[in-house]
Structure 1
């Protein structure tokens, strides 16, 4: 595949700790297909953007499990989003903490809309790299760790609107528990019925232990939240239901699948998984 050329007016500024973690999924999507063709994603932009921010990917590619996990996670999120679009062809997808991802290349059906949002420093880099932005795409600055993000993004204000699909990858584990609870509560309170919020999470045992992660330890970011039980995911609001989960690392190696089953048996939660919460019509 030919790598698109990207011009930047000046070197991209360095990112702070948590935003700098976007380099890991970017490297995975840039070079991971050759390492793990069974979960290849075919990202047409990642290699050029990685080079444009001055990263050759070598540090991140040494962490093979994380590279596999990003690709597998991307495929599941893409699958869940496409399932939503099958029911809502002109629906809206919201990518919270979008980093330098570009899901529109896989999801654009000619009718859907995509809102991508992140912190100011990440949005500035997206603009500097001239990430493709069409008439059905919108880029916004938001900090979902602060209450009121739903209205700041201009999302439907009432429960009578069409269902939305929200995705949030590699973000919630860096927020404080009270912030995560508030994010989920705001989604449960404000989202139209049938809306889905897809996100990934490490379990509670990882909190405070980012130094043990082969990639995250190089960024300065720290894990601050992880569920200790599945019930914790729906507890913030009575309209929330756990629709699906996917232990994305099971396909990496048989040992991972066996260890994952054992871990969940003893702890009640996966070590790492993708979750999809759905908003019901009424409270439990």
Structure 2
């Protein structure tokens, strides 16, 4: 784990959220693989460092939402391919694999190297090192599966990039056949709240955020080329809230009422 200093900030916050949910709120997410890996993680990184239940669960809810979209996609398209952009240490394969789907996990080279140390490649999941915004990874996948329908997931990835770069990625993917994309996004007001509260609590108060989506239909119009909104839904709308702290419930309700954070599924 020689690369720990390089990747710890971006990798372990989501892992910490999945561990918290698995131990305290399994009705939201139970991640057995994350629990198995807990003993291999540096103890200092497992400290909650002032996070609230709400901030801890925000990452777990993202994973739970992605799981739901992936399972629904594979039910509709059993021949489908799953691609995780900015995979980090996500363990989605171990929660959602159906026994025959091909999976790909894409991230920067040093992240993929660290991931391999902790999570060796399973039988049908291929790790690809590269830039999520370059086309190398999708060319490689299309060389393997020229015609298969693809679901690309991008959790917690786009907030930190300019809109032009994100839209450019979506347009690029339109050149590679049948692709759907699922991602989480904040509204303009949600971004302001995220900067003030969430990023401060998780230790990233200086993080710069750029990309937000108020209406998915407006984003689809900017992408052009026939991009279609399949789903836009409030982030917490499918999450069981029984047993959660009062502040957590209120925060989730406010977020959903004003659609500050949302899940979006596009057909490109």
How does the TM-score come out when normalised to structure 2?
Answer: 0.82
Superposed counterparts of 1:44-59, under 5 Å: 44-46=33-35, 48=37, 51-59=40-48
Q: 2:4 aligns with which of 10, 13, 20?
A: 13
SS across alignment from 2:225: coil
Partner of 2:122: 134
Counterparts of 2:44 and 2:231 in 1: how far apart (Å)? 35
Asked if 1:231 corresponds to 2:217, the answer is: yes
Query: Which whole-Å deviations, capped at 9, do the CAs of 1:150-171 have from their partners, x for residues lacking one?
Result: 545x1327x9712111100010
More helix by share: 2
Asked if 1:272 corresponds to 2:246, the answer is: no
Asked if 1:241 corresponds to 2:228, the answer is: yes
Deviates more, 1:199-208 or 1:168-177: 199-208
1:81, distance to aligned residue in structure 2 (A):
0.7
| Closer, same or farther: CA 136–171 of 1 in aligned 2, 3 Å | same
| Closer, same or farther: CA 208–143 of 1 in aligned 2, 3 Å | farther
Partner of 2:245: none
Higher relative contact order structure (alpha carbons within 8 Å, sequence separation ≥ 6): 2
- The unaligned stretches of length 5 or more in structure 2 are 242-247
- The unaligned stretches of length 5 or more in structure 1 are 1-9, 264-269, 280-284
1:11, distance to aligned residue in structure 2 (A):
4.2
1:246, distance to aligned residue in structure 2 (A):
2.9
Superposed counterparts of 1:241-260, under 5 Å: 241-250=228-237, 251=239, 253-256=248-251, 258-260=253-255
Asked if 1:86 corresponds to 2:75, the answer is: yes
Q: 1:77 aligns with which of 42, 66, 71?
A: 66
Counterparts of 1:59 and 1:199 in 2: how far apart (Å)? 25
How does the TM-score come out when normalised to structure 1?
Answer: 0.78
Query: Which whole-Å deviations, capped at 9, do the CAs of 1:136-192 have from their partners, x for residues lacking one?
Result: 1100112123x424545x1327x9712111100010111111111111112233231
Count of residues paired in the alignment: 256
Asked if 1:182 corresponds to 2:149, the answer is: no
Superposed counterparts of 1:83-232, under 5 Å: 83-129=72-118, 131-145=119-133, 147-152=134-139, 154-156=140-142, 161-192=147-178, 195-205=179-189, 206=191, 210=195, 212-213=197-198, 214-218=200-204, 220-232=206-218
Partners of 1:119 and 1:142 within 8 A in 2: yes
1:278, distance to aligned residue in structure 2 (A):
1.6
Counterparts of 1:254 and 1:211 in 2: how far apart (Å)? 19
Partners of 2:196 and 2:205 within 8 A in 1: no
Counterparts of 1:109 and 1:249 in 2: how far apart (Å)? 25
SS across alignment from 1:199: strand
| Closer, same or farther: CA 91–217 of 1 in aligned 2, 3 Å | same
RMSD over aligned CA atoms reads 2.8
Partners of 2:31 and 2:95 within 8 A in 1: no
| Closer, same or farther: CA 49–139 of 1 in aligned 2, 3 Å | farther
1:222, distance to aligned residue in structure 2 (A):
2.1
